[in-house]
Amino acid sequence: MTETTPPSNYSLFKIAIGLTATLLVVIFALQNSNSTLVKVFFWEFNAPLVILFLLCFTTGIAIGISAIIPFRKYAKSQEKIIKELKTKLETKEVNNDLKPL
């Protein structure tokens, strides 16, 4: 038989936060389920308010992530350059130590 270890306090904390967030989203959805008229340029349609909130939130998250991605790529390329330069510096120091005086 295999023994299972009990979840750590941190795992339980993450589960509690997840359940709390889920409960808050459900309450939010139930309180904002009424339909709202939406006008965008030449279009008019009715949509539940909670769907509009979630659509705006998701759009904001997508824009935020797309704004961060180029900076992460730049940072990774800089890390690669730094690593290469450190390696070159270390090999140069080793070669200097091996040269006779």
Residue 3 has a pLDDT of: 60
Number of domains in the chain: 1
Answer yes or no: is 56 within a domain: yes
Place of tokens 């959805």: 29
Which residue range(s) make up the domain with 53?
35-98
Residue 20 has a pLDDT of: 92
Give the max Cα distance, the chain.
85
> pTM for the whole thing?
0.51
Strand ranges (E), the chain: 35-40, 43-48
Tokens (6 digits) for 74: 């730049």
Mean pLDDT by 10 residues, the chain (101 residues): 65 87 84 84 88 84 85 84 86 67 58
Answer yes or no: is 1 within a domain: no
Answer yes or no: is 7 within a domain: no
Cα-Cα-Cα-Cα dihedral sign, residues 58, 59, 62, 63: negative
CA 31 to chain centre: 28
